[in-house]
Chains A and B, each alone.
Chain A
C-alpha cells in the first residue's frame, strides 16, 4: 500500500538496488570475518562474471538454463500453482532428450536433431508434470506435495535408467556422448571474443521463450484466463474457464519449460546425460520466479544475476583460499532474502525522504 505512492523509478530501480546492496553488504561482512578482503572479492566476482567476455558468456550460459526453470515456475505460479518440481521435470526431460539423441544422432542432421531434442525434452518434462497436475485438477491433491514427491521419484528412476545407459567399461554414470551433430551451435563461432564457452543458441531460445511468455500471459485471452484462475477460482469458474483443464495444461507447459532447460545443459554443454546433471537449477528457478515477480524482465534479470553468481563465485573460490565454493550458495540465499522477501525494506524510508524534499 505504501508503494502505491512511490514513483516507479523508486520501486523499480532504487529499491531493488538498495536490496541488492544490502545482500552484498552482509556477504562482505561474512567475507571479512573469513579473513578475506570484500572489495577484492567483489572485484574478482564482477570481473569474472561480467567484465571478462568469456566469463560473461558463462554467466549467460547458466542464465539460459535458469530462464527456462524460472519460466516454468512462473507460469504455474500465475495459475496459483506452486510447482516445486521443476528440478525433477528437468531431470526427467534430460532422459527424453537423450533417448532421442541416442536414437537419431548418427542418422540425422543438426537441423533436425535440435528440434527433436527440444521436443523430446519438452515432452518428457511435460509428462513428469502431468501426474501432479492431473491429481491437483481431478483429485485436489496438493501440487506442492506431489511435485516434491515427484522430484524424489525422478531421482530414483533416473538413477536406475542412467546406470543402464552407461557404455560397458565406462566409469562415469552417464550415457555415451552424442555425435557432434547433436550439439547446440555455440555462439563463439560467430562471436570469437566469447572465447571457449558453452554459451549456445539456447540463450536465444530462452529469450524467445521469455517474449512468448510475456505476450501470452499478459496479452492473450488464454493468459487472461490463466491469471484469473490463479487469482480467484470462483470468478474463473463463473467466467466459464475450465479450471481443471487449465491446471493440467499449465502444468504441462510448466514441465515442458523446465524440460527445455535441459537442452542447454545437455545438448549445449556436456553432450551426455549424467547423474544429477540438473544440480539445483530447478530450485533456483523457484527463486528466480519469485524474485522476478513472474515478469519476463524480472525473470531475465534474476536469471542473469544467478548466472553471474554461479560463474563469478566459482572464480572467487579459485582465487581466495578461505572462500569455499559453497559461499556462492550463501550469497544466493542472501540475495533472495533481501531482494525477494524483504523487497519493501526501504520503502518507508524512501517515502519519508521524498516527502521531506517536497
Chain B
C-alpha cells in the first residue's frame, strides 16, 4: 500500500477543548477512506488541518511520504487537496461557472476564460453524468445540485485527494447513490477520497478502510470488509446502539389536522403546492418522504404559520386554522403555537435558534410571552432552572445553560430545539429533518423522544429525506413530488423501490 496521506501525532486544542489528541493514521493512495465518530469527535477539525484552515498544535502531515506544512487553503489546493465542506462553500448569488472559476480564474480577464471553462464544465458533467447547468445561479439550485457543484469544482481543479465532510447529510437516497457512482469513478482514476459520514451503511457501501474517532482520538482503523455497523457503532459511542426502538401498537385517535385542497403559488405565480390533502390523527407519526425541494418545506411552513397558502382548507382539532385571508404571516406562528402546534424547523440554524443567544434564552424562543409575568418581565432564575432540567433530561452537552448555542454541536442544538418544542406539550408536532448531521447516538435518543411523544397521543408530521428514518419512525408515509402528494403507504407496505418511484413523480398506480 502506498500512503497518500499520513497523520502523525496531530494535536489541536481550542482553548480548553482538545479537538484532536495525538491522531495517527494513514490513508492509502487510490482508496476511499471512511471517517466516523460522534458529533464533536474531531473529524472536521482534523480535515480542516489537512486543508490548511487550522494550524495543528503538534504533529505532522505527510503527503506522498513527504512532510508538508500547509498554512492555508491556497497551499492545500496547490498540493492537490480538495474539500467539500459540511456547509456548502458556494457564493449563492453567482453562477455555477463563476463559483468554479473563483480562485482559479486563469487570468485577469474573466471573459477570456469563461467560454472555455464553460465548455470544459459541460464536458465534465457529461463524463461524470452530473446534472448541472454551468450558467445557473446557485440559489436557484436544489441542495443536491449544489452538492454536485461542489464536486464539479473539485473535478475541475483535478484534486487528487478529495475530502468530503458529511456530503450525504442533505442528499436523498438517489442523490447519494449517484454521488457514490462518481466517487467510484474517482477511485478508478487513482484519486484518494476521505469520506466523513454519520451513516454507517454508507461506510459499508463504499469505503475501503474506516477510521473511528472518539473524543479527539483515533479509536481504531479497520478494513471495511471485516466490520459491521454494530461493531462500528459500538466503537464510536462506546456502547451498543438500539436499532428497534420500542413503540406502542398503532392506535390512532381523533383527527388533529385536516388538510384539504391546499394550494400555494409564489410571487411569480409558480405552483409550489397543488391539491394537497391528508388527515393526521392523534398518536400517529405521518412521514412525508421525497426529494428535498418538492414542497415539503413549504407545507411545513404553512402548517407552522410561517407562510400563508394561496388557497385551501386547513382544520386543526376541527376548527379552521386562522389564516382568514391574510397575505402576511407576520406573527402567525405565535397564534399557531398557542393553539398547540409545535415546530422543529428543518433549518435549525436559520429558523430554530438564535445563535448568539445562550442555550437558556433559546429554550424560551417562541414561548417568551407565555412565561412573562404581569409586568411583562421574565424570571430568568426560573427559566434557568427549567433549562437545566430540560438539558438534563435530553442529555444536552455540555451541560451549561449560559453557553451560546452557536458553540454547541449541531446534534446538541437539535436536542435543545426538540426539548423546547416537546416541553410546550403540543397536540401537533411538526418535525423537519430532525437528525440531519447528527451522530448515531444522538439519532437514537431523538427517535426515542419522538416515539414517546407519539405514544402519549401527540400527532406528529415528520419530513425527512432519510428513508431509514422514515422507516424507523412512521406509521404512515406520504410521498411528495413536484408539490403534489404522489402516493401514500402504510408502514407495512414500506418498499424502497416503490417509494423511490413515487418520489420521482410516478403516480399512484
Which A-chain residue is minimally distant from B370 (CB atoms)? Answer: A221
Give per-residue flags for B303-344: 1 if the beta carbon is below 8 A from chain A beta carbons, else 0.
011100000000000000000000011111111110000010
In the complex, whether B368 has a CB less than 8 A from a CB of chain A is yes
Q: Which residues of B contact A219 (CB under 8 A)?
A: 377-378, 380
Roughly how many angstroms separate A224 CA and B380 CA in the complex, as a whole number? 11
Which one of A4, A224, A237, A245 contacts B306 once the chains associate, using CB atoms below 8 Å? A237
* Chain B residues within 8 Å of A228, by CB: 354, 357, 365
B123 at the interface (CB under 8 A from A): no
CB pair B345–A220 under 8 Å, yes or no, is: no
Contact partners of B376 in chain A: CB under 8 A: 220-222
- Contact of B377 (CB < 8 Å), options: A215, A241, A243: A215
Taking CB atoms, residues of chain B closer than 8 Å to A29 are: none
Q: How far is the CA of A215 from the CA of B380 in the complex (A)?
A: 12
A32 at the interface (CB under 8 A from B): no
CA distance A236 to B330 in the complex (A): 10
User: With A220-B377, A220-B378, A224-B361 known to touch, is A242 a contact of B331 (CB < 8 Å)?
Assistant: yes
Say whether A239 contacts B365, CB under 8 Å: yes
Chain B interface category by residue count: 35 or more
Residue of A nearest to B347 (CB): A234
- The answer on a CB contact under 8 Å between A240 and B377 is no
In the complex, the answer to whether B369 meets A221 with C-beta atoms within 8 Å is yes
Chain A residues 166-216 with CB under 8 Å of chain B are 215
CA distance A236 to B355 in the complex (A): 12
Q: Which residues of A contact B267 (CB under 8 A)?
A: none
The CA of A123 and the CA of B366, in the complex, are separated in Å by 31
B358-374 vs A, CB cutoff 8 Å, 1 = contact: the mask equals 00010011101101100
B485 surroundings in chain A (CB, below 8 A): none
Per the bound structure, the CA–CA distance linking A152 and B355 in Å amounts to: 37
Determine how close the nearest CB of chain A comes to the CB of B286; give it in whole angstroms: 22
State whether A239 touches B366 (Cβ < 8 A). Answer: yes
Distance in angstroms between the alpha carbons of A7 and B351 in the assembled complex: 33
Chain A neighbourhood of B369, CB < 8 A: 221
**Inter-subunit contact A224/B364 (CB<8 Å):** yes
Which residues of chain A (254-289) have a CB below 8 Å from chain B?
A: none
Q: A225 vs B336: C-alpha distance in the bound complex, in angstroms?
A: 17
**Nearest CB on B from A239, distance (A):** 4
Chain B nearest CB, measured from A245 CB (Å): 7
Q: Quick one: closest B residue to A243, CB to CB? A: B330
Q: How far is it, in angstroms, between the C-alpha of A239 and the C-alpha of B417 when the chains are bound?
A: 12
Q: Are B351 and A241 closer than 8 Å at their CB atoms?
A: no
Q: Kindly identify which residue among B333, B345, B356, B371 contacts A240, using a CB–CB cutoff of 8 Å.
A: B333
Return chain B residues, CB-CB under 8 Å to A220: 372, 375-378
Point out the residues of chain B lying under 8 angstroms from A236, CB to CB: 354
Min distance, Cβ B423 to any Cβ of chain A, angstroms: 15
Partner of A245, one of B15, B331, B337, B353: B331
Distance from A281 Cβ to chain B, minimum over Cβ atoms (Å): 30
Contact check, B364 vs A237: say whether CB atoms are below 8 A apart.
no
> With A and B bound together, what is the CA distance between A244 and B376 in angstroms?
20
Q: Is A238 an interface residue (CB 8 A)?
A: yes
Residues of B within 8 A of A5 (CB): 15
Distance to closest chain A CB from B366 (angstroms): 4
Known: A220-B372, A220-B377. A4 touches B15 (CB 8 A): yes
The verdict on B352 contacting chain A, using a C-beta distance below 8 Å, is yes
Complex: A232 Cα to B354 Cα, angstroms: 6
How close is B242's CB to chain A, nearest CB, in angstroms? 32
Whether A221 lies near B353 (C-beta < 8 A) is: no
Q: Contacts A219-B380, A228-B357, A240-B333: A235 and B15 contacting too (C-beta < 8 A)?
A: no
Instruction: Tell me if B350 is interfacial: C-beta within 8 Å of chain A.
Output: yes
In this complex, the member of B343, B354, B357, B375 whose beta carbon has the largest number of chain A beta carbons within 10 angstroms is: B354
For A237, the chain B residues whose CB sits under 8 A away are 306, 329-330, 333, 351
Selected from A221, A232, A238, the residue in CB contact (under 8 A) with B355 is A232
Chain A residues with Cβ under 8 A from B378's Cβ?
219-221, 224
Residues of B within 8 A of A241 (CB): 331, 334
Residues of B within 8 A of A231 (CB): 354-357
The answer to whether A244 touches B351, judged by C-beta atoms less than 8 angstroms apart, is no
* Chain A contacts for B304, CB-based, 8 A: 238
- Are A239's CB and B357's CB within 8 A? no
Asked if residues B330 and A242 are in contact (CB atoms below 8 Å), the reply is yes
Q: Contacts A231-B355, A231-B357 hold; do A238 and B366 have CB atoms under 8 A apart? A: yes
Q: Which of the residues B329, B350, B364 comes within 8 Å of A235, measured between beta carbons?
A: B350
* Bound-complex Cα distance A4 to B15 (A): 9
Q: How far is the CB of A177 from chain B (nearest CB, A)?
A: 41
Q: A221 contacts B306, CB within 8 Å?
A: no
Interface flags for B368-410 (1: CB within 8 Å of A; 0: not) read 1101100111101000000000000000000000000000000
Q: Evaluate whether A240 and B15 lie within 8 angstroms (CB atoms) in the complex, with A221-B378, A235-B365 already known.
A: no
- Residue of B whose beta carbon sits closest to that of A4: B15
Query: Which of B15, B343, B361, B377 is the one whose CB lies under 8 Å from A238?
Result: B343
Chain B, range 44-67, C-beta contacts under 8 Å to A:
none
Quick one: closest B residue to A236, CB to CB?
B354
Contacts of B333 in A (CB 8 A): 237-240
Could you tell me which residues of chain A, from 22 to 57, have a CB within 8 Å of some CB in chain B?
A: none
Please, how many angstroms separate the alpha-carbon atoms of A77 and B336 in the complex?
29
Q: How far is the CA of A237 from the CA of B333 in the complex (A)?
A: 7
Q: Mark B71-96, 1 if CB is under 8 A from A, else 0.
A: 00000000000000000000000000
- Indicate if the CB atoms of A239 and B330 lie closer than 8 Å: no
- A318-333 contact mask (Cβ, 8 Å, vs B): 1 or 0: 0000000000000000
* Contact assessment for A238 and B357 in the assembled complex, using a CB-CB cutoff below 8 Å: no
CB contact between A234 and one of B330, B350, B368 (< 8 Å): that residue: B350
Cα A272 to Cα B353 in complex, Å, equals 50
Report the separation of the CA atoms of residues A167 and B470 in the bound assembly, to the nearest whole angstrom.
81
Q: Establish whether residues B354 and A245, one from each chain, have CB atoms under 8 Å apart when the complex forms.
A: no
Contacts of B356 in A (CB 8 A): 231-232
Jot down 21 A-B pairs with beta carbons below 8 A, ordered by A.
A219-B380, A220-B375, A221-B377, A221-B378, A222-B376, A225-B368, A227-B354, A227-B357, A232-B353, A232-B355, A234-B347, A236-B354, A237-B329, A237-B333, A239-B334, A239-B368, A240-B333, A240-B335, A240-B366, A242-B331, A244-B328
**Which chain A residues have a beta carbon within 8 Å of chain B's beta carbons?**
4-5, 215, 219-222, 224-225, 227-228, 231-232, 234-245
Extra pairs beyond A224-B378, A228-B357, A240-B334 (15, CB < 8 Å): A221-B376, A221-B377, A221-B378, A225-B368, A232-B350, A234-B351, A235-B350, A235-B352, A238-B343, A238-B351, A238-B352, A239-B368, A240-B335, A244-B328, A245-B331
- Top 4 A-B residue pairs of the complex, sorted by shortest distance between their CB atoms: A240-B334, A242-B331, A221-B372, A239-B366
